[in-house]
Structure formats: structure tokens, C-alpha cells
Amino acid sequence: MLGYISNKPRIFNFDPRVKITLMLLISFVAMTGNSLGLHKYPRLFLMLIPVCLLIGVGFYYKGLILGIMIGMSWYIEAFMSIRTQLLLFIVVIIITKFASALAMGYFIVQTTQVETLIQGLERLKVSRKVTLPLAVMFRFIPTIKEESSAIKDAMTMRQIDVKSAGKHPIKYIEYRYVPLINSVLKIGNELTMSAITRGLNLTNARTSIHHIQMTLLDWMMLLGTLSLVILYYVM
């Protein structure tokens, strides 16, 4: 699992199908919409949903910083004329269109077990061609992070660090990234074989020890988000 927060109350641990739907809806509105007219207010509430969720599961600092960035960028886009300042305009657009989607993805990664996510996707009739790579990816990222940290420690013991990269850039790249690439290829194959061994590529229905079921809170969250999306396009 990847950063799964197991000790959080159920109120912050929505059904994986709800999380996926929220990410699709929020990402779509954030990326395709704008902060002009009255519909800019529903868009702001939608973009702040991932911020509230992150704060709710304990990422107070990250959630607060992200909320300030999104709020300021939304205000600048909605009420200030900055099109003549091209660089600032580009930064604001990137934040308003991508920050909330990335935050929602981060929330899903940090609060969802791989098995639960796969089960939720299978309930949505998602193809195994999608669920198998996802299962491998979720286990792949933390493994590569650990491998990169181990390589960095080994280089530090040999007195090869970022400072020496300026003097010997080729050697630094060789020692830092060549072993990492080899590890990536090896670990990717191992995780793929592990997923296949566990039956993730089978076509028949699989059983799971993790039971997922839509609760009243899940429906309320889903309907509330859908209402904001509808309000955004109606206003």
C-alpha cells in the first residue's frame, strides 16, 4: 500500500468509487472551466473539496498551503486583469486548472489501499487492462522511492553528492541514475509477476477480504459534488 492512513475515522475514508468519481468531476470542471461570470463560485467550491479532504485526514500544512494557492489564483483569475502580465497569467492558469486535480489524486493515493481501489474499479466494470497496471503502479512508486533513497545513501558513503555533480556531472549521472534505471526495470517485472500470481489478470470475478459498500455519507458527498457541477453549468 502507498501511504494508507489506517487510523482515520470512517468519515474521511470514502468508498473508492466515490473518490474516483470526485476526481473525474473536479478535474473536468477545473481543467475545462474558467472563473468568469457567476459560475466561478461553484467552481471555487469544487476546487476546494480536495483541500478540505486533505485537511480532514491530517495534512494540515499541505492542505492550508494548497488552499491559499488555489484561492489566490482563483481570485486573480476572476477579479484582476493580468493578461498583460503573461508569466503571472500562465502560473495562475496552471494552478487553477491542475492543482485541485493533483490534490485529489494525492488524497486517493494516501487514503486508499490497493486492494480496495482495485475492487472499486472492478465494481465499476473497469477492464483488467486498466486495473492491473494501476495495481503495479501503486506498489511501484514507494518501492522506487526506497530504492532511490538507498542509492543516495550509498553515494553519500562514497562522498558523491550534489556538490560534486558540478565537477563531475557524467560520473554523478552514472552513479545516481544508471543503478536506478536498472532497479526500475527489475522491480517493474517483479511487481507485474507478483500481481499476475495473485490473480489480478483473471477474467472471472475475484473474492476479496475488503468489503466496500456505499454509505449515506458517500451518497451525500457524491450528490453534493454533482449538485455543484450542475450549478456550475446552469449559472
Give the pLDDT of residue 206: 61
Look at residue 6 and tell me whether its pLDDT is greater than 50. no
- HEC-encoded secondary structure of the chain: CCCCCCCCCHHHCCCHHHHHHHHHHHHHHHHHCCCCCCCHHHHHHHHHHHHHHHHHCCCHHHHHHHHHHHHHHHHHHHHCCCCCCHHHHHHHHHHHHHHHHHHHHHHHHHHCCHHHHHHHHHHCCCCHHHHHHHHHHHHHHHHHHHHHHHHHHHHHHCCCCHHHHCCCHHHHHHHHHHHHHHHHHHHHHHHHHHHHHCCCCCCCCCCCCCCCCCCHHHHHHHHHHHHHHHHHHHC
Q: pLDDT per residue over 80-132, tens digit each? A: 765 557 778 888 888 888 999 999 988 988 888 777 777 777 777 777 777 77
Supply the mean pLDDT for the chain: 78
What confidence tens digit (pLDDT) does each residue in 10-43 have?
556 788 888 888 989 999 988 887 777 778 888 8
The pLDDT value recorded for residue 3 is: 46
The predicted pLDDT at position 36 comes to 73
Reported pTM: 0.72
